[in-house]
Structure 1
Amino acid sequence: MALFAATRLLALRRSPILLKLPPYLSALFIVVGVAWLLLLPLNEYSRNTYISENAILPGQVHTYFGGSEHNIFRAYRQEVWHLSERSDHDRISGLEHELRAIGLKAATQDYSWNVAGEEIKGTNVYGVLQGPRADATEAMVLIAAWRNFEGNINYSGVALALALTRYFKRWSIWSKDIILLITDDSTYGPEAWVSAYHSTSSIATAARNISVLPVKAGALQGVVALDYPAGPWGQRFEKLDVLYDGINGALPNLDLLNTAISVASSQMGIGCTLHNMVSHSDSYSDRLLTLTKGLLTQGAGHATGPHSAFMPYHVDAITLRTVGEGWHDEMSLGRTTESLVRSLNNLLEHLHQSFFFYILLNTNRFVSIGNYLPAAMIVAGSLTISALALWVQSGKAPTNGEQSGKKGEKLEEKKMELIREGDDVALVPKSDLVAAERKIFLPAAILLAVHLAGSIPLYLLNNISRPALPLTLHAITLATLALPPTLSYHLSKLPHQQLQILQSFSLLLLGAVLSMLATINFSLAFIVGLLCAPLAFIRPLPLLFSPNPSSTSPAPSTVSDAQDFITKLAIVLPCTVLYALISPPVVLYAIATGLQGVFGIEGLGVEGLLVEMARGWVAQGVWTGLVVWGVWWPAWVVGGGVLGSGVLGRGGGG
């Protein structure tokens, strides 16, 4: 029985049906991956949020921030407005003076980065309130950036943070230190401060032009940022938009998010939103829209607020941003923040019981990693299936008829061979027992060279000055579109087997990287996987001019040849144009012009997109650019080289 099973497997090895199946399987996997994602907004694949950490006790305390504190807040708001009219030096001195007047250990921190020929610099002001019951081993952070993410002065946010800290100073319940941090902006100031806070070497911070922190507290347990840019005369708001996306798609523990939403909505009666969706009907379309916005924001990997910089350091953080015009005032936000800080003060250990990987559909419904991760894995699996199919085909030994091309020798294919196992005898085709020797050195060297070439656009776009960035992208786009035809000319001289091995290695590496990336940043892996999905179906296009031994002219010589040429041209041109449209530079142009606001900046444009990508790489450590130029771009170039190898040469038939 074992012998007959072996003969059946040998027969399947050359089954034409089995060899034609992988492209259909890859297409099926892509459809299933997309359909899987579309099912997530349904109730069957998501669940309601809940608090896992019982010690938090959200909304279980009575808040006292109000009454006379309102007058103190308005006084601080006027002081913030006066400071905004002064120079940066006077503003920093004035804020530091206010922190010392409250009774905090105040200090400042200077920082600067040189990105795209521009200097990003500023000064952070912070103070430490030592908890009466604390032993300086744990701390909470209250942030109010001087300018919010849109570049507006955070008048009421800074004033409210000062008023709350002054209010907290009078309480003796704190078991953790409280750090008030007022950064210059909402992106680079928090990044400079948190990196210096967790740095153990002054040399490391000096290398990044970041000053060391003269005053520190314990391990950071939680961060709450306030974004309330109401002017000096104040403005009531309708809802709180909870920002939670971190750098490189990192997310805070879901318990922190649930605590903030529970306190705001249940205790204070303030409605909460996600991704600035003020009106959310909890319908399938609204859930899907929230999911899509979450995927785009997480896939971009850039900071979305002051909280984002803390995620890479495993510090849970969120930003509370006021949206709309309603009847809630600064006292409502103050009591919400007080209750949230007191909940964090209850923690006996770092938040760990709830989810760190999730997708939110609205403020009270989420999808866990076990439900959404298969979508990206299945899309990446479509690439792996094509890679394995190409590897199997590359090991198929050519028959004598294929090697000689002579009709008289095609009968050699029918030679049979006896195989024995004990008393069992089976007759199988001799060609099924022969495997081709794979020569993998040259395909591996070509793939390595293309991947190393991806470092060139990555370096240029992160080191060229800002005015030259659009021109640099134009040059990279032209070079990118010209590279596949150039590579195709050289690949056309290789045997067909080595073309298959090259494409197999490229798809196998791409599928493996996307599968690994999906466990860290699901959104980026899924988006890049969909953009790379056509690469699984790339095969050499037909040769435009069929070789004619009797003719020395490359042009069509007969009417049938001309018709054949037109037919092939009708296939080659659309495929080439469509393939160019899915190239990384062209997609970047589409994002810059058609998806403005993906990174939270209105009117991004090509130059703005490139500047934000450079700032993210240099200052924030965002690896989206590395995935684009180090993973997606090489795979696209190799696929383009294989695609055109049949048009410009022998089609890999050597």
Structure 2
Amino acid sequence: MALISSLLALRRDARILKLPPYLSALLIIVGVAWLLVLPLNEYSRNTYVSENALLPGQVHTYFTGSEHNVFRAYRQEVAALPDLSIEERNNKLADLFRESDLKVAKQKYTYQVADTNISNENVYAVLQGPRADATEAIVLIAAWKNMADEVNYSGVALVLALARYFKRWSLWSKDIIFLIPGDSTSGPQAWVDAYHDGHDPRTIESLAIKSGALQGAVAVDYPAGPWGHRYDKLHIVYDGVNGQLPNLDLFNTAVSIASGQMGIGCTLQRMWKHSDTYEERLQTMLRGMLAQGLGHATGPHSSFIPYHVDAITLVTVGDGWHDEMSLGRTVESLFRSLNNLLEHLHQSFFFYLLLQANRFVSIGTYLPSAMLIAANFSIMAIALWVQSGRPAPPPNPTATKLVKKPLKKLKFDGRHYVEVPDEPKNEKEPSDSDKKEDPTENTTDTTPPVTAVSNNGSTALVPTASLQVTERALLLPLLFTLSTHFLGLLPLYAFNLTPAAELRPIFIVTANILTLLPLLTAWLLRFSFAPTPQQTTLIQSFSLLLLGMFLSALATLNFSLSFMVGVLCAPLSFVRERKGMVASGVWYAVLVLLNPVMVCQVACWVAGVGVEEVLLKASEGWAVWGLWTQVVVWGVWFPAWFAGSVVVALGFFPE
């Protein structure tokens, strides 16, 4: 009973409000440290194929010998196409597919990005599986231009050669679709949208030929020049739009076939040399998190993953002894494995972090890292809410006269304590000695009043002030928090719809506005609404509460984006309205450096790319891929940053 009484008294102790900042800092440190230990062997494991039906590398491949001559003939045909118009080029490619006795169709599409139109045409052919009933299909892709804007000579020639080669086999239990889009991003997106009837018929042409449900897709990126070039390794690209990933079994099957059956080394995340050290594992993981967090398309395969079509891109890199025949046999064996599937890949992981080609971290191991960082905002929001309900301390406690009152007498009646009335006293005329002034009367008693609290037969004395809860003025904090979230729609609209030539001026103007806007807003609040300390505390509480909720939900969808935004917003848990220009100026300078526009500019400088290029690619992602990274930046990150900056800026304008 004594322990329960102590706990009841402790939960009302004002000193407990000093713990949340330290707990919040601890969660941030543990969350970052958790991420740093993931590359260790104790927290990661080797990859494995969960779907036994895939049987990677268990078949003999026959794409060799005379097929090499066919491939070189197709490469010569492709080498003559870059100088032709889009229509003439696709007519030639369609004729080459028809010569292999395939059904061929074309698709035109147009996207409006800023003030420019992205227009091109896709050409595709369908091989009806001899043992198939047109209910399932696999896609083989070779974009005319790869992500580096190079003509994919050998990749397109290899798809043409494989189409002719696959047509002669009678073992296919699924249809095979051969797709040659005009580019690596908008073309595949237009095609897969139209395949699933998710397109706008006014700008994207519907497909004339369709097959069954798509079970998987493999893209080939082999530029190699018009006359070919031998390669050293296969770079497997697997990142999808908005951070979505294909089933890990598809990646593991490709690695098993390429490295185990064909003897081709595999790499990922542009780590060309990987000696499996801790530093290289960590670098690979961080690069994967960056690509996932940005959410942009990294290859022709990226557009398929949002439709639950597992897809990867095989990119040839380096200068070695492997040629197009080894890549063709890799694709053949991979398609033979996918041909064995009786259902969608589902047994392996859809959420993972890869450390190298043969090692990964599952979601159950890495998810607490982002969740801990998100939890620190929720803890601070709750602490600020409790703090806002506490009565403000008097301006000069030592000068406040407190009346010393005796404690009430309590009596236990069997169930709880009840107050015992005072005994009557005999009143009599005070004597002269009684009239003498009591030396203890009219003195200041600095002992705070206490109240007896009973519970289950036990009593405890707690400060009376700690039991009081003041009324919270919620209107201004709620309106301000909602307004900041709506304010984020303005830059979201501006950056996605501004013409390309005006993106940099808009960026500079936005950077200057975000530097001064919190100061102007704080000035208006101070002299128009005169917010009380309780109201500024509630503004921070509501802002951090929404931030923690959003990041917790986002961590289950895009772990990397949630983690990055959480780390960049970490100082918001500790900023407060400071008295004095120096303290306010230091905190405000820190927050200015952490606003979304400034972070974007620094990131572009570190990566060596132009801001205009990044903004244009983001605008393209919004219009073509349905990218929602901008929504997180301007709808989650910016409102929290703005609210914290305004609270700090209030320190520049004393009451």
> TM-score normalised to the size of structure 2?
0.91
Give the alignment partner of residue 473 of structure 1, picking from 507, 518, 521: 507
Q: Which residue of 1 aligns with 2:635?
A: 630
CA contact (8 A) 2:584 2:648 kept: no
Q: CA deviation at 1:489?
A: 2.2
Tell me the matched-pair count.
Answer: 611
Give the alignment partner of residue 584 of structure 1, picking from 581, 590, 596: 596
Task: Give 1:581-620 correspondences, 5 Å limit.
Answer: 581-596=593-608, 604-620=609-625
Q: Which residue of 1 aligns with 2:421?
A: none
Please state whether the residue corresponding to 2:80 is helix, strand or coil: helix
Give the alignment partner of residue 505 of structure 1, picking from 542, 547, 553: 542
Q: Distance in 1 between matches of 2:474 and 2:361?
A: 43
Name which of structure 1's ranges 425-434 and 405-414 shifts more when overlaid on structure 2.
405-414
Please state whether the residue corresponding to 1:307 is helix, strand or coil: helix
Larger radius of gyration: 2
The letter of the residue matching 2:12 is R
CA contact (8 A) 1:64 1:335 kept: yes
Q: Distance in 1 between matches of 2:6 and 2:53?
A: 65
> TM-score normalised to the size of structure 1?
0.91
Question: Does the C-alpha gap of structure 1 residues 269 and 390 become closer, same or farther in structure 2, counting only changes over 3 Å?
Answer: same
Q: Distance in 1 between matches of 2:460 and 2:584?
A: 46
The letter of the residue matching 1:499 is T
Question: Does the C-alpha gap of structure 1 residues 495 and 405 become closer, same or farther in structure 2, counting only changes over 3 Å?
Answer: farther
Q: Which residue of 1 aligns with 2:400?
A: 407
CA contact (8 A) 1:265 1:272 kept: yes
Is 1:224 the counterpart of 2:218 in the alignment? yes
Please state whether the residue corresponding to 1:615 is helix, strand or coil: helix
Q: Distance in 2 between matches of 1:132 and 1:210?
A: 31
Q: Which residue of 1 aligns with 2:64?
A: 66
Please state whether the residue corresponding to 1:206 is helix, strand or coil: coil
Structure 1 stretches lacking a partner, 5+ long: 545-568, 597-603
The letter of the residue matching 2:379 is I
Q: CA deviation at 1:317?
A: 0.1
Structure 2 stretches lacking a partner, 5+ long: 403-443
Is 1:574 the counterpart of 2:574 in the alignment? no
Q: CA deviation at 1:628?
A: 0.7
Please state whether the residue corresponding to 1:175 is helix, strand or coil: coil
Task: Give 1:165-180 correspondences, 5 Å limit.
Answer: 165-180=163-178
Please state whether the residue corresponding to 1:221 is helix, strand or coil: strand
Is 1:621 the counterpart of 2:633 in the alignment? no
Give the alignment partner of residue 381 of structure 1, picking from 371, 375, 380: 375
Q: CA deviation at 1:7?
A: 6.2
Q: Which residue of 1 aligns with 2:12?
A: 13
The letter of the residue matching 1:391 is W
Please state whether the residue corresponding to 1:231 is helix, strand or coil: coil
Question: Does the C-alpha gap of structure 1 residues 405 and 274 become closer, same or farther in structure 2, counting only changes over 3 Å?
Answer: same
Q: Distance in 2 between matches of 1:348 and 1:456?
A: 48
Q: Deviations over 1:139-178 (max 9, x none)?
A: 0000000000000000000000000010000000000000
RMSD, aligned α-carbons: 1.7
Task: Give 1:116-131 correspondences, 5 Å limit.
Answer: 116-131=114-129
Please state whether the residue corresponding to 2:569 is helix, strand or coil: helix
Q: Which residue of 1 aligns with 2:556?
A: 519
Q: Deviations over 1:523-555 (max 9, x none)?
A: 1111111100111111112134xxxxxxxxxxx
Q: Distance in 2 between matches of 1:322 and 1:605?
A: 27
Is 1:323 the counterpart of 2:321 in the alignment? no
Q: CA deviation at 1:404?
A: 9.7
Q: CA deviation at 1:415?
A: 2.5
CA contact (8 A) 1:132 1:172 kept: yes
Q: Distance in 2 between matches of 1:625 and 1:99?
A: 40
Q: Distance in 2 between matches of 1:635 and 1:542?
A: 22
Q: Distance in 2 between matches of 1:522 and 1:422?
A: 47
Is 1:449 the counterpart of 2:483 in the alignment? yes
Question: Does the C-alpha gap of structure 1 residues 223 and 425 become closer, same or farther in structure 2, counting only changes over 3 Å?
Answer: closer
Q: Distance in 2 between matches of 1:641 and 1:524?
A: 25
Please state whether the residue corresponding to 1:408 is helix, strand or coil: coil
Q: CA deviation at 1:396?
A: 0.9
Name which of structure 1's ranges 430-439 and 171-180 shifts more when overlaid on structure 2.
430-439
Name which of structure 1's ranges 418-427 and 175-184 shifts more when overlaid on structure 2.
418-427
Q: Distance in 2 between matches of 1:215 and 1:107?
A: 7
Q: CA deviation at 1:135?
A: 0.3
Q: Which residue of 2 aligns with 1:153?
A: 151
Q: Which residue of 1 aligns with 2:580?
A: 543
CA contact (8 A) 1:248 1:521 kept: yes
CA contact (8 A) 1:7 1:428 kept: no
Q: Distance in 1 between matches of 2:356 and 2:166?
A: 32
Give the alignment partner of residue 653 of structure 2, picking from 637, 648, 651: 648
CA contact (8 A) 1:491 1:499 kept: no
Is 1:33 the counterpart of 2:28 in the alignment? no
Q: CA deviation at 1:15?
A: 3.4
Please state whether the residue corresponding to 1:520 is helix, strand or coil: coil
Task: Give 1:524-535 correspondences, 5 Å limit.
Answer: 524-535=561-572
Q: Deviations over 1:187-243 (max 9, x none)?
A: 11000000110016xxx5225x11100100000001000000011211000000000
Please state whether the residue corresponding to 1:326 is helix, strand or coil: strand
Q: Distance in 2 between matches of 1:187 and 1:57?
A: 31
Please state whether the residue corresponding to 2:107 is helix, strand or coil: strand
